[in-house]
Amino acid sequence: MQKRKLGKSNLEVSAIGLGCMGMSFSYTPLPDRKEMISLIHAAVERGITFFDTAEVYGPYTNEELVGEALAPFRKQVVIATKFGFKIDPVTKKQAGLDSSPEHIKQVAEASLKRLKTDVIDLFYQHRVDPNVPIEETAGAVKDLIQQGKVKHFGLSEAGVQSIRRAHKVQPVTALQSEYSLWWREPEAEVIPTIEELGIGFVPFSPLGKGFLTGKISEDKKFDKTDFRSQVPRFSPENLKANQAMVDMVEKFAQQKKTTPAQIALAWLLAQKPWIVPIPGTTKLHRLEENIASEKVELSPEDLRELDIAASKISVQGARYPEELQKMVGR
């Protein structure tokens, strides 16, 4: 697999990473742990060197899984994890945000143990905390970098003002936010800002939480434990309206003799050389399909056609429930 550098940093990773959240959190039914360790091993064998987790996935169990799976390969892989949520010690549920410097340092120590490592390659603030100046947050990560416990600082779902303020204190290596053919809001302000500052971009949900694969029909019923059951975009009426996007991508995939998922990922890779999508999966055949998208070449004409076709489709429904929507773009 080809490598890409995240912005102006020296952090080099595989052109496609692996989002590990769904292996122990958010999408149900949850898969077998041993099978997920095997899947992570298969990803390494196929050239993926970039793995994404967070303390809140589980919570804790996803970091433990990733740490165990990657221990034999630690020197050849890049592990990204995240801080910033308070986790209730009794219920183990998210209980608001906490990016105070003291909390960040506690999380780093705990994550290092779970990940079975002595350094976190990329440490993201999971969501901007409105109660803590971003300069303090960036300063805490800067301290961890100086102590050799963290290599790179990242932000997730941050707005452009926060990105600029944080970057002045400690250079930001990567921004992680949702971006896909189905969600293009970052193109307005975020992408121009990070290009100017030399920050890499790591799109999560590059396949629209599975929607752009074409495998979610308009009558799909999500279990109430599946995160998508709360997402307005996945309501039955919105799924029906949004099917036009899938139909467009499927038609394009047929012309290119490839799959809708591969078109969606190839489109992202073609946008900027410092974009590294992290599709998540729990299935080997999907992992291989995603990896193969790196070989799908889209010409300038192909990209123009896709843009024109996509611009005619109005995506229906918010991408987060209201409470979570308030946490993005700060």
Active site residue 27: no
Of 229, 43, 80, 226, nearest to 155 (Cα)? 80
Distances from the Cα of 68 to the Cαs of 38, 79, 84, in angstroms?
A: 11, 12, 23
Q: Which of 27, 57, 60, 179 is catalytic?
A: 57
d(CA 289, CA 107): 35
| 260-271 vs 284-292: helix crossing angle, rounded to 10 | 40
d(CA 115, CA 78): 12
SS3 letters across 184-253 = CHHHCCHHHHHHHHCCEEEEECCCCCCHHHCCCCCCCCCCCCCHHHHCHHHCHHHHHHHHHHHHHHHHHH
* Pair of tokens at residue 244: 């036009």
* Pair of tokens at residue 327: 């946490």
List Cβ neighbours of 113 (8 Å cut-off, separation of 6 or more): none
d(CA 239, CA 188): 25
d(CA 78, CA 328): 25
Instruction: Compute CA 107 distance to the chain's CA centroid, rounded to the nearest angstrom.
Output: 20
Residues with a catalytic annotation lie at: 57
